[in-house]
């Protein structure tokens, strides 16, 4: 186990690892896990990795679990990076285009990555009951991992969450409460009740480990491509995947896997819920809450993200940008991508295509570049959106 401590992402305050932690005790911002990377690099070499398991636990040296018996897994991660040559042909400039297909994870979204790490650590730290506010896919993942770990799961979702997410949670034994409001309202209920109920709060970035699971997408890109892509396009709600990959790149550099060059990170949101895009355009480091947030891409319906500054810092440091696309465009993109690549994307993932078209039109992506679109989940969970 190479974890040295937890560190506040804003004020840097050191927190102890190995005990239950939520947010920074000083400033209330997210905590990130720090490792002895010199030690990790001794065994996690590019030569050692190919013979390891086809799951994200292949990166065990930079994951937080200390006792292997505590790992709660369905074999998540190590998803294919699919060549999207045909889709690239429909674009005005030639690109090396790939889709990282996260819909192939257990519970059909990249939320499985975060939950395998969070629930494994909850098990290690002897948690019996977990609670989460969710836009849908995180709930489905948490219900499954909690059931596998023998934990009680309490889930709070907006009442108009896609039906598949509600059904999967109930069928995997979770206690589901539908809330007349947004994910932020669900989060408030968890915060109010958790102490009395004895729940551990597994909200995105309000515990330190989901982001550790998500960061493995960055490690996988480094293994699956000869070098990191020029551009990563990522549908952003709370931003855990983007924050995680950015952290992974820093870790990889420290371990000597890569140099200082980074992919340009592009955050995609819906025009009807675009707090990060607005903050990016206004030159702000913290994003104001987005009023009347709505979008059929339910995972993007996050009016206020606690890790806003981490998303915005990464986008800016990478020379990337943030783009909002209309719901109509992103739903249409599901069929466009599907009919050419065979991948039935979640609306969130499909939003990457209109965003890429915009980047090309603005001269921000140019001929010959390598671009990775993140399809963060499967369209099968969103049947209502295609009615």
Ligand X SMILES: Cc1ncc(COP(=O)(O)O)c(C=O)c1O
Residues that bind Zn ion (CB under 5 A): 8, 10-11, 13, 24, 26-27, 29
Binding status of residue 348 toward ligand X by CB under 6 A:
yes
Q: What is the dihedral of CA 129, 64, 55, 229, to 10 degrees?
A: 120
**Is residue 138 part of the contact set for ligand X (CB under 6 A)?**
yes
Least separation in angstroms between residue 256's CB and Zn ion is 30
- Specify the residue, 13 or 91, whose C-beta has the smaller distance to Zn ion: 13
> 8 contacts which partner out of ligand X, Zn ion, none, CB within 5 to 8 A by kind?
Zn ion
Q: Which residue among 158, 235, 263, 275 contacts ligand X (CB under 6 A)?
A: 235
Q: How far is 377 from 345, CA to CA, in rounded Å? A: 6
Quick one: 11 or 167, whose CB is closer to Zn ion?
11
Q: Binder to ligand X among 63, 71, 99, 135 (CB under 6 A)?
A: 135
Q: Which residue among 105, 116, 137, 321 contacts ligand X (CB under 6 A)?
A: 137
Strands, sheet with 129-133, edge to edge from the N-terminal-most edge strand: 175-179, 152-158, 129-133, 200-201
Considering the rule CB under 6 A, would residue 30 count as an interface residue with ligand X? no
**Minimum distance from CB of 27 to Zn ion (Å)?**
3
Nearer to ligand X, 111 or 247 (CB): 111
Residue 27 near which of ligand X, Zn ion, none (CB within 5-8 Å, type-dependent): Zn ion
Cβ pair 343, 379 in contact under 8 A: no
Angle at which helices 137-149 and 111-124 cross, to 10°: 30
> Least separation, in Å, of the C-beta of 166 and ligand X?
14
To Zn ion, the closest distance from the beta carbon of 19 in angstroms equals 17
Tokens of 63: 């994951």
Instruction: Pick the stretch among 91-99, 115-123, 135-143, 194-202 that binds ligand X (CB under 6 A).
Output: 135-143
Which of the residues 103 through 132 are near ligand X (CB under 6 A)?
Answer: 109, 111
Shortest spacing between CB 14 and Zn ion, in angstroms? 10
Contact criterion met (CB below 8 Å) for 15 and 21: yes
What's the CA gap between 354 and 373, in Å, rounded?
A: 11
Cβ 1 to ligand X shortest distance, Å? 26
In the list 133, 162, 218, 237, the residue contacting ligand X (rule: CB under 6 A) is 237
- Output the six-digit token pair for 269: 């949101």
If one asks whether residue 239 binds ligand X (CB under 6 A), the answer comes out as: yes
Residue of 207, 230, 238, 251 that binds ligand X (CB under 6 A): 238
Task: Pick between residue 61 and residue 347 the one whose CB is nearest to ligand X.
Answer: 347
Question: What is the per-residue binding string for ligand X in 316-345, x denoting contact by CB under 6 A?
Answer: ------------------------------
Indicate whether 236 belongs to the interface with ligand X (CB under 6 A). yes
The residue number whose beta carbon is nearest to ligand X equals 299
**Cβ count within 10 A of residue 198:** 12
Phi and psi of 201, rounded to 5°?
-85, 115
Q: Are the beta carbons of 356 and 82 closer than 8 angstroms?
A: no
Q: Pairing mode, if any, of strands 96-101 and 81-83?
A: antiparallel
Are 94 and 114 in contact, with CB atoms under 8 Å apart? no
Joined together, the tokens standing for residue 113 give 């990555």
Q: Going by C-beta distance under 8 Å and a sequence separation of 6 or more, which residues neighbour residue 89?
A: none
Whole-angstrom CA distances from 270 to 326, 327, 344 are: 6, 6, 19
Pattern 143-182, ligand X, x by CB under 6 A: ----------------------------------------
Asked whether position 275 contacts ligand X by CB under 6 A, the answer is no
Q: How many residues bind ligand X (CB under 6 A)?
A: 19
Q: How far apart are CA 287 and CA 289, in angstroms?
A: 6
Please name the helix (run of DSSP H) or strand (run of DSSP E) that holds residue 264, with its range, or none. strand 264-270
Strands 31-35 and 3-8: antiparallel
Residues that bind ligand X (CB under 6 A): 109, 111, 135, 137-138, 204, 235-241, 299, 302, 346, 348, 376-377
């Amino acid at each position: 186990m190479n974890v040295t401590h937890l560190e506040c992402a804003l004020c840097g305050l050191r927190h102890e690892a190995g005990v239950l932690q939520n947010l920074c005790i000083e400033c209330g911002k997210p905590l990130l896990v720090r490792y002895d990377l010199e030690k990790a690099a001794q065994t996690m070499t590019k030569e050692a990795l190919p013979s390891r398991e086809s799951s994200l636990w292949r990166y065990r040296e930079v994951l937080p679990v200390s006792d292997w018996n505590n790992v709660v897994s369905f074999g998540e991660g190590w998803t294919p990076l699919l060549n999207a040559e045909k889709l690239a042909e429909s674009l005005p400039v030639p690109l090396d285009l790939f889709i990282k297909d996260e819909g192939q994870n257990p519970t059909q979204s990249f939320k499985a990555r975060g939950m395998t790490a969070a629930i494994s650590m909850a098990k290690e730290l002897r948690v019996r009951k977990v609670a989460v506010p969710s836009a849908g896919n995180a709930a489905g993942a948490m219900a499954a991992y909690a059931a596998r770990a023998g934990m009680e799961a309490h889930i709070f979702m907006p009442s108009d969450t896609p039906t598949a997410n509600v059904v999967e949670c109930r069928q995997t034994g979770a206690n589901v409460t539908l809330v007349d409001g947004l994910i932020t309202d669900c989060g408030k209920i968890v915060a109010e009740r958790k102490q009395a109920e004895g729940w551990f709060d597994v909200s995105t970035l309000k515990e330190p480990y989901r982001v550790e699971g998500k960061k493995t997408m960055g490690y996988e890109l480094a293994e699956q491509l000869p070098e990191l892509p020029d551009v990563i396009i990522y549908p952003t709600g709370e931003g855990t995947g983007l924050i995680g990959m950015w952290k992974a790149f820093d870790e990889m550099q420290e371990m000597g896997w890569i140099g200082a060059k980074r992919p340009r990170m592009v955050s995609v949101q819906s025009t009807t819920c675009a707090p990060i895009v607005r903050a990016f355009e206004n030159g702000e480091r913290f994003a104001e809450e987005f009023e009347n947030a709505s979008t059929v891409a339910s995972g993007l319906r996050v009016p206020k993200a606690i890790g806003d500054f981490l998303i915005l810092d990464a986008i800016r440091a990478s020379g990337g940008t943030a783009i909002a696309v209309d719901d109509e465009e992103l739903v249409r993109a599901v069929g466009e991508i599907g009919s050419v690549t065979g991948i039935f994307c979640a609306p969130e993932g499909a939003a990457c295509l209109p965003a890429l078209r915009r980047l090309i039109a603005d001269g921000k992506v140019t001929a010959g570049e390598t671009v990775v679109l993140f399809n963060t989940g499967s369209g099968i969970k969103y049947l209502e959106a295609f009615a």
